[in-house]
Amino acid sequence: MAQDLKLPRQKIDLIAPPYVHAHEQATKQGPQIVEFRLVVEEKEIVIDDRGTKLRAMSFNGSIPAPLMVVHEGDYVEVTLVNSDTNSMLHNVDFHAATGASGGGDLTLVNPGEEAVLRWKATRTGVFIYHCIPGGPVVPWHIASGMSGAVMVLPRTGLKDPAGRPLRYDRIYYIGEQDFYVPRDTKGKFKSYASHAEAFPDTLETMTKLVPSHVVFNGRVGALTGKNAMPAKVGETVLIVHSQADRDTRPHLVGGHGDYVWETGSFQNPPQVDVETWFIRGGSAGAALYKFRQPGVVAYVNHSMIEAFELGATAHFKVEGAWNDDLMAQMKAPAPIMPRTNSP
Amino acid sequence: MQHRWNILLLASAIAAPMTMLAFVLGPSSRSLASPVPVPDLVELAPGTFRYRVSGEFTRDGKPVSAPIVTIAIRHTLAVMRHQVTAADYERCVAARACSISDIDAASSDHPVVKVSWWDASAYAAWLSLETGVPFRLPKDEEWAYMAGSRFNDDALPERAYASGPVQRALMAYERHASREEIDDQTAQPIGTFGMNENGIIDMAGNVWEWTDTCFTRNVIDERGEIATTSVNCGARVVEGRHRTYVTDFIRDARAGGCSIGTPASNLGFRLVRGEKPSLPRLFLEHVRRFFGLG
């Protein structure tokens, strides 16, 4: 059992994305048992500016669930709590873990129950975790918000392809989520009195594979406007991006991925100078970027239909001095001048 | 081909003055069965006021804020007390004079939304015919005059322009982000946003209103005067909690009104009573427009 390991323990309070709990980017300490607590919440949430309601399910109340950061060789000890106010069976499958459906088989908890799972972080990278309670309700739980991510850092930190250390000044965790809200005969989104009532229509909508919303962090506009992610010119930002269900293709508008771990594994050297990267459904990836220009920098799923029509847009609000060498407006938009032949 | 055009031209030349007669002679006979009532209008006395010109401005090739000018409203301005409702619009659709919009419910107490400038213009033409009272979309300066204290001059301070395009964009972004937004952006029943000092309902609520003013780019010379103006009537000024410019065929500006910043939540409209022009002038105008001279 965990006690037999005789390792130091650390208890971490998870925080809601896009923010990430404090952590060491590289560590001189030996392996630890890192304790986390995930509490399942079934609740109704609003997912856009039109008041569209969703019977959501979540870990710790946020969509996506919080990012957990540990180091290679650490033991992750998760207490999964299913409050008695909930109505369904839940569990958790960690893609970073090995065996028993990533822990799903060992963590099935009814309302009013809790379970503790310990797994060893043997592989470095970013990995998703999600609920997988069995049967047709599995995709429903995921499509209702029950996924998050774990980041297992190499003990010596991140490295570029030549093995030189990479560091970040800020980290943001973006969880992309497709929702399938059923519509009535007039095309208006429906709302339901309970999760059970929402299930049949939602399942039917889901199986058509046409999402009604594709959003970052649980709702349209969760990471724009007042909630835009702050950064400064010269700062390096690590962006962790997960999608538990569908494929996605993050892109920084007017920026790049300096270093991208597209499949999420830190064991593979990162790709450099990437335009748009690909996050496979059911995985997480990470991109490191140093902001070089100030401005409102959009971070989108570059299916622009999903970004602009369905919601998959985030903004970084970057302060700092403009670099005229990198870009300058030589002429503001004005009427077309007649072209003259050079003498 | 030539022959067909001639017939069209002839038909049009005959039909148009007939419809114009309606303005002069009063309601059309069709409306006698179930007349379309003249909407409740608020009359504003003529006056002058300071107005932030719409459009974009440059000086020495650099963007500057739009000038503020004095505008004189020379005649009584009669405007619909409330926005055109879904039920009002539905009547025009039923008469096949307006295209079917994505109306959630033809409700008498909700403003019509998801209408383009073309839809609004078609409604104005239909309502004018049905009531015998000429109606049109307001000019932007008229909207500002009607809005009074509800008009939001969201021009950035002069220093914003000195600090470069990106700082300006950031400043505009902050401003929109910090403004208290209405959480539910769906159109609300008429009256939800109250009455302004002119007795007009729901000015600058969460349904933006089309104006007839075209988007312009202007060059300001050394003396601070507008030297040149290029007009783009493919985009019109839309007014509400902030001013924006929307392409005329767009019915829903949420995603496309502006790439960054707060777009208009909903597109609707209200009309003003137009001038009752003389028959010869109407005819001349029609001919001018027909040949694309207008």
Range name among B15-19, B136-140, B183-187 with the lowest pLDDT average: B15-19
Cβ-nearest to B61 among A186, A228, A332: A332
CB-based burial, B165-201: b 16+ in 10 Å, e otherwise: bbbbbbbbbeebbeeebeeebbbbebebbeebebebb
**Position B80 pLDDT exceeds 90:** yes
**pLDDT at res. B32:** 47
Mean pLDDT of chain B, nearest integer: 82
What tens digit of pLDDT does each residue of B120-134 get?
A: 999 999 999 999 999
- Least confident range of A54-58, A313-317, B237-241, B256-260: B256-260
Nearest CB to B63 within list A293, A317, A332: A332
Closest chain B CA to residue A186? B104
The minimum CA-CA distance between B18 and chain A, rounded to whole Å, is 40
B250 confidence band (pLDDT: 50, 70, 90): confident
Residue A88, number of CB atoms within 10 A of its CB: 18
Q: Which residues contact B38 (CB under 8 A, 6 or more apart)?
A: B131, B133
B147-156 pLDDT, tens digit each: 999 998 888 8
Distance CA B268, CA B285 (A): 27
Catalytic residue list contains A224: no
Q: Please say if the pLDDT value at position B28 is more than 80.
A: no
DSSP class of residue A310? I
* Residue of chain A minimizing CA distance to B217: A334
- What's the pLDDT at A4? 76
Condensed to tens digits (0 to 9), the pLDDT of residues B97-120 reads 998 766 655 577 999 999 999 999
From the list B211, B254, B247, the residue with the least C-alpha distance to B232 is B247
Contact B235, B214 (CB under 8 A): yes
Q: What is the pLDDT of residue B17?
A: 46
Confidence label for B7 from pLDDT (cuts 50, 70 and 90) = very low
Facing residue for A298 by CB, picked from B228, B260, B265 = B260
Catalytic residue (one of A131, A151, A206, A229): A131
Reported as a pLDDT band with limits 50, 70 and 90, residue B165 is confident
The answer to whether the predicted template modeling score (pTM) of the entire model surpasses 0.80 is: yes
pLDDT over 70, % of chain A: 98
Active-site residue, A276 included: yes
Measured between CA atoms, the residue of chain B closest to residue A227 is B177
Q: Are the beta carbons of A332 and B176 separated by less than 8 Å?
A: no
DSSP state of B84: P
Q: Looking only at Cα atoms, what is the longest distance across chain B? A: 63
- A334, B61: Cβ pair inside 8 Å? yes
Higher pLDDT, B22 or B246: B246
**Binned average pLDDT, 10 residues per bin, chain A of 343 residues:** 79 98 97 98 95 97 98 98 95 97 96 97 98 91 98 98 98 98 94 95 96 97 94 98 98 97 97 98 98 96 94 95 92 80 62
Q: Pick the residue with more confidence: A334 or B50?
A: B50
Chain B residue numbers touching A226 (CB-CB < 8 A): 177-178
Q: How many CA atoms lie within 13 A of B129 on its CB side?
A: 17
Q: Please judge whether B61 and A296 are an interchain contact, meaning their C-beta atoms are less than 8 angstroms apart.
A: no
Q: For residue B222, what are the contacts with CB-CB under 8 A and spacing of at least 6? A: none
Per-residue pLDDT band for B161 (boundaries 50, 70, 90) equals confident
Closest of B94, B140, B95, B133 to residue B117, by C-alpha: B140
- Per the DSSP assignment, residues forming a β-bridge with A158 are A166
Q: Do A51 and B186 touch (CB under 8 A)?
A: yes
Which residue is catalytic, options A72, A74, A93, A258? A93
Q: Judge whether B260 is closer than 8 Å to chain A, CB to CB.
A: yes
Query: Known catalytic residue: A23?
Result: no
- pLDDT reported for residue B181: 63
Mean pLDDT of B50-57: 94
Q: Which of A275, A304, A309, A319 is catalytic?
A: A275
Q: Indicate which of B104, B173, B182, B186 best probes the interface with A, i.e. most A CBs within 10 Å of its own CB.
A: B173
Verify whether the Cβ–Cβ distance B58 to A332 is below 8 Å: yes
Q: Which residue of A has its CA nearest to B182?
A: A49
Task: Report whether pLDDT(B14) > 50.
Answer: no
Is the pLDDT assigned to residue B260 strictly greater than 50? no
Distance from CA of B40 to the nearest CA of A (A): 30
Q: Which two tokens stand for residue A35?
A: 């304790």
Closest CB to A294: pick one of B170, B260, B262.
B170
Q: Does A337 contact B at CB distance below 8 Å?
A: no
| CB contact (8 A) between residue B176 and residue A296 | no
Q: Is B262 on the interface with A (CB under 8 A)?
A: yes
Contacts of B53 (CB under 8 A, 6+ apart): B66, B67, B68, B69, B218
Nearest partner of A102 among A86, A122, A82, judged by Cα: A122
Better-scored residue on pLDDT, B28 or B291: B291
The answer to whether residues A114 and A157 touch, using CB atoms and an 8 Å cutoff, is no
**In sequence order, what DSSP letters do the residues of B247-280 get, joined into one string?**
ETT-S--TTTS-SSS---S-EE---EE-----HH
Residues of B in contact with A298 (CB under 8 A): 260
Catalytic residue among A57, A68, A88, A146: A146
Identify whether the C-beta of residue A240 lies closer than 8 Å to the C-beta of residue A264.
no
A256 is catalytic: no
- Partner-chain residue, chosen from A188, A228, A333, that has the shortest CB–CB distance to B177: A228
Q: Report d(CA B55, CA A333) in Å as an integer.
A: 12
Q: How far apart are CA B284 and CA B31, in angstroms?
A: 27
pLDDT, tens digit (0-9, with 9 covering 90-100), for B173-196: 888 777 656 667 888 999 999 999
The more confident residue out of B25 and B63 is B63
Nearest CA in chain A to B259: A308
Give the Cα separation of B63 and B167 in Å (integer). 12
| Residue whose C-alpha is closest to residue A84's, from A115, A112, A110, A113 | A112
B255 or A327: which leads in pLDDT: A327
Range name among A216-220, A253-257, B10-14, B159-163 with the lowest pLDDT average: B10-14
Nearest-CA distance B227 → chain A (Å): 13
Which residue in the set B170, B181, B254 is minimally distant from A296, CB to CB?
B170
Q: Give pLDDT, residue A191.
A: 96
- Please report the pLDDT score of residue B282 as a whole number: 67
Are B170 and A317 a contacting pair at CB < 8 A?
Answer: yes
B276 to chain A, any CB pair closer than 8 A? The answer is: no
> What is the C-alpha separation between A332 and B168, in angstroms, rounded?
14
What proportion of chain B, given as a percentage, has pLDDT over 90? Answer: 51
pLDDT at B262: 63
Residue, of B71 and B59, whose pLDDT is higher: B71
- DSSP secondary structure of chain B: -HHHHHHHHHHHHHHHHHHHHHHHH-S-GGGGTSPPPPPPEEEE--EEEEEE--SEEEETTEEEPPPEEEEEE-S-EEEESSPPBHHHHHHHHHTTSS-----S---TTSB--S--HHHHHHHHHHHHHHHSS-EEPPPHHHHHHHHGGG----PPPHHHHHTHHHHHHHHHHHHHHHSPPPS--SPPPTTTT-B-TTS-BSTTSSSEEEEEEEEEEEEE-TTSSEEEEEEEEEEEEEESSS-EEEETT-S--TTTS-SSS---S-EE---EE-----HHHHHHHHHHHHTT--
Report pLDDT for B18.
46
CB contact under 8 A, A295 and B255: no
Q: Give the pLDDT confidence score for residue A334 in this predicted structure.
A: 77
Give me the interface pTM, i.e. the ipTM: 0.74
